[in-house]
Structure 1
Amino acid sequence: MVKIIIVNYNSGKWIARCLSSIHQAGLTDHTIIVDNASTDNSILFIEQNFPQADLIKLSSNLGFGQANNLGIKKAYEQGSDYVFLMNQDVYIEPNTIDCLISTAKLNPDFGILSPMHLNGNGSELDFSFSNYIVPLKCRKLYSDIFLQKLATLYEVSFVNAAAWLLTRKCIEKVGGFNPSFYHYGEDDNYCQRVLYHSLKIGVVPQSIIYHDRENRTENIYFDNTVLVHKRKLIKMFSDPFDNKQSISDVYINCLKTMVKSLITLKLKSFKEHFSRIIMYNSIDWKMILHNKEQSINKGKNFL
């Protein structure tokens, strides 16, 4: 059994096509939608047009990872063998998930399987996804595409969570997303944990999705340098493979740079590092290190 999990937030632009693609695959009644307190009409649309879907309405926005965790937990408790995480701006083909499941059955050492990501209209590869399958990160896929001799599965170390098939074995060994991450970075950490627990990550070229995210020029999580640095730090200190970094050393180095900038009158650098110092002091480091320790242990962590 497979369950599709979609985290919904103000998805009015995409949700009709997203759910229609699921309906065409005959999987609407296998779909769990977790709504992160949307303020548009997307919830009403879902209730009126796709009542077969299991809709979970949250009173506040928990972020991508924790909302997905609610869906993963419910799917697992209902006995699902596979969970397909799917962004609200993703559209599938009728055979997308069946192809992934068939590949997963033949490759039980893989915890995450991803389809190929095309852009919204299918005219080319999704640009960000294309960076995950370059030769240095995904051996032979590019050359096999050119030579028209595709294999059924290619191993990678990371692929973004816009369309993941998770196996039950993966959920039991790795668990859900680390709640240290609110939005972005959680899929990087999850892939690190999958590899840490001796499972593999793969791309299945015969399976396709359409990721409709072009022309989005503003994103506070990438435009705000303090938020970007905060996410970088949380990723660093949540990485199960990294035990060399010291929180105090990172803090002291930033403090030294801030003071040096002030002495040399580099005011732009001073303001940036001053903001980082304030940000460091606002982070719950005890919680982050606790979550890291929890993620190192095998089990249904964070669910």
Structure 2
Amino acid sequence: MTTLGTSDLSVFPLALGGNVFGWTADRDASFAILDAFVDGGGDFIDTADSYSAWVPGHTGGESERLIGEWLAARGHPNIVVATKVSQHPDFRGLSATTVRAAAEASLQRLGTDTIDLYYAHFDDADTPLEETVQAFGALVTDGLVRHVAVSNYTPARVAEWLRIADDLGVARPVAIQPHYNLMHRSEVEADLVPLAERENLSLVPYFALAKGFLTGKYRSMDAAAHDTPRAAAAAEYATDAGLAVIDTLARIGDAHGASIASTALAWLRMQPTVAAPIASASRLDQVASLLEGGRLELSAEELTELDRVSATAGA
């Protein structure tokens, strides 16, 4: 188990991404995936109020609603649910009014009294940061949210949020959710990790498997030829350098009897300040690899080798 920053949230060190629920995983598949994740020891679910508004005919909130239905059906008392605000079509931005209304809507869909971890999904340049910080602090004071977090914020804006929270005497963020994986390292490691170390914040990275590339499914330069929603996005990594990362992951994984995906998740989980990478499963048979990624221990030599081979493979 791992603790998120200075919070009292102790979780399995791999978060199940909820972006696929109601999109590439229908209700039955979503329930089966959630059941397998919890049966395998998982207890941390990440979603957002905007999932999956991008799908034709969807309005946002589909993922939260399915998670809420599953929670009601299964009655799991110790599940930690993280969700986010700022991108739902009906709740754009981070004004105080929007933050409060969006949180109340998320609570209704999830069927819970409190959101365990509430993220500002994207920075809102049109709203004074003081207003947003105060709004999140009020949600904690009023018991609607247990802990605050930020996603997709620059290190400078995270530092400013922390300063404002201290000045106002409201809850500080306990976690940051950045884009971070073996193929996307330099930006996070140069600036965000040092900030997280100084301020005792945990990283909960998204795109932990590089949009599916780090599952090992795309073993040629023609990744875009695969007929999946993320194939085109994964194609950007299918270079000679990127495929060398996959080959290294495969070799190290084989030594542990582990999959490429599990090995990539283990590397990320073992980076400084990382508490729990986020990874999604749209099929039941993918869950075991995610759980294994939360448990697999790599040697210092293996971590160094993956550091080296990935150093020039991505961003």
TM-score, length basis structure 2: 0.24
Bigger-Rg structure (1/2): 1
TM-score, length basis structure 1: 0.25
